[in-house]
Amino acid sequence: KINPQRLAQSLAALGQVGTLEGGGVNRLALTEADRLGREWTLARMRELGMAVTIDAIGNVTAIYAGTEDLPPVMTGSHIDTVRTGGLYDGNYGVLAGLEVVATLRDAGVRPRRPIAVAFFTNEEGARFQPDMMGSLVYVGGLPLAQALATRAADGHTVEEELQRIGYRGPAAVGCPVVDSFVELHIEQGPVLHQQGLQIGVVEGVQGISWTEFTIEGVSNHAGTTPMALRHDAGVVAVRIAAFVHDLALRYGGRQLATVGSMQLSPNLVNVIAQRAVFTVDLRNTDEATLACAEAEVHAFAAQCAAAQGVACSQRRLARFEPVAFDPLVVSLIEQETRALGLSALRLPSGAGHDAQMLARVCPAGMIFVPSVNGLSHNVNEFTEPDDLAQGAQVLLQVLMRLAQR
């Protein structure tokens, strides 16, 4: 049985690193706060006697040895956050993994296969795109060199920042080779909480499409330039953003669309914007529908830019097709949940997760616990302590089942 207090204490302790006035945390990937969070987590791994490896993209893996020298059963997640994030997103999966190891250790239990607890670099994608960067590189889905060269809006590259915080590790990416992967995470959405259920058995992850649009117009005087003579980058940006939102309402169903980031230049009240840069986040569980949404936005953007006489360019920041998790891992999670007497629901994940990358190289699955009011990427993100404890217990059972095979 895992120790709920110890789990809660470790969540609170890591939550102190990069804490924001008024609650929540800001531990954007590869910042000083991320470095401090990493140091704290590594110290905990070493305390548990685990062998720690840091790879070339800064992913950290800690191994609890098994009785046989086999590829490990891996769990884990990430410890980076968005700029105004909560205490649970990612952190919970990593610390629950360490709680499982602490429990096994206290009980003097060694499974047949080793158990690995990992945290992957830049899962959030808030500072560097794409998201899930560390796990994507781990599974060979993105060349290391390309990931290292990625530049943030603040001008720094992944490589510079890894060097600066001392996490450009010596290990080759993709080591160790993994037997199977199970990630425990808060749902981040409203489904489990609304339905009063305890555990989400995640069947897969929806498709994710991130695009950055840059509109280049001509700055001019807001008081002297007739509407018909304008090349207003701002108006094109807001029209496309409104179209993107309308598209999600028009498609209905599981189509989601968000314009979360926008910058105008020179960004002054009486100057027609010369440039607008904004992002579009489109998601759907159905690949064909997602591709159709992308094509519609693309076409509208081109038409809208042409009508205003401005240039419109696009840069793909991330694109992942929907992922289905391994049916055996999914049903193993469901069985163990029921065996513990907990209520379960099969559901897809709305958020992207490291598990969807690991699914490319081994059987993988995910366990969700409820998020109160479905809040996440918000400083008020919260999960009840009982739910946190139950999720960790399911994780322990599932990891043991996999490790004993």
What string marks each residue from 64 to 103 as x (binds a second copy by CB under 8 A) or -?
A: ------------------xxx-------------------
Candidate list 66, 189, 370, 391; residue touching a second copy; CB under 8 A: 189
Minimum CB distance to ligand URP smaller for 237 or for 272: 272
| Residue 262 interacts with a second copy (CB under 8 A): yes or no | yes
Q: Which of residues 246-275 bind ligand URP (CB under 6 A)?
A: 270
Does residue 187 bind ligand URP (CB under 6 A)? no
Q: Which helix (H) or strand (E) holds 41?
A: helix 32-47
Question: Should residue 259 be labelled a site residue for a second copy when binding is judged by CB under 8 A?
Answer: yes
Q: Using only C-alpha atoms, what is the Rg of the chain?
A: 22
351 binds a second copy (CB under 8 A): yes
Which residues are paired to 47 by β-bridges? none
Residues 41-80 that bind ligand URP (CB under 6 A): none
200 binds ligand URP (CB under 6 A): no
Which residue in the set 235, 364, 398, 399 belongs to the binding site for a second copy (CB under 8 A)?
235
Does residue 388 contact residue 369 with C-beta atoms inside 8 Å?
yes
What are residue 143's phi and psi, to 5 degrees?
-60, 140
Q: Dihedral of the CA atoms 135, 137, 141, 147 (nearest 10)?
A: 120
The annotation status of 377 as a binding-site residue, yes or no, is: yes
Q: Which does 257 bind (CB under 5 to 8 A by kind): ligand URP, a second copy, none?
A: a second copy
Neighbours of 198 (CB within 10 A): 21
Closest CA to 273 of 225, 316, 315, 307: 225
Binding flag, residue 383, a second copy (CB under 8 A): no
Minimum distance, C-beta of residue 376 to a second copy, in the bound complex (Å): 4
18-25 LR contacts (CB < 8 Å, sep 24+): 18/81, 20/84, 20/379, 22/379, 23/379, 23/380, 24/84, 24/85, 24/86, 24/87, 24/378, 24/379, 24/380, 24/381, 25/81, 25/85, 25/86, 25/87, 25/379
Residues 80-99 touching ligand URP, rule: CB under 6 A, are 89
Taking CB within 5 to 8 Å according to partner kind, which of a second copy, ligand URP, none is near residue 123? Answer: ligand URP
Query: Contact with a second copy (CB under 8 A): which of 88, 167, 210, 325?
Result: 210
Asked whether residue 185 is marked as a ligand-binding residue, the answer is yes
Return binding residues for Zn(2+).
78, 89, 124, 185, 377
Return binding residues.
78, 89, 124, 185, 377
Interacting residues toward ligand URP by CB under 6 A: 89, 123-125, 131, 188, 221-223, 270, 351-353
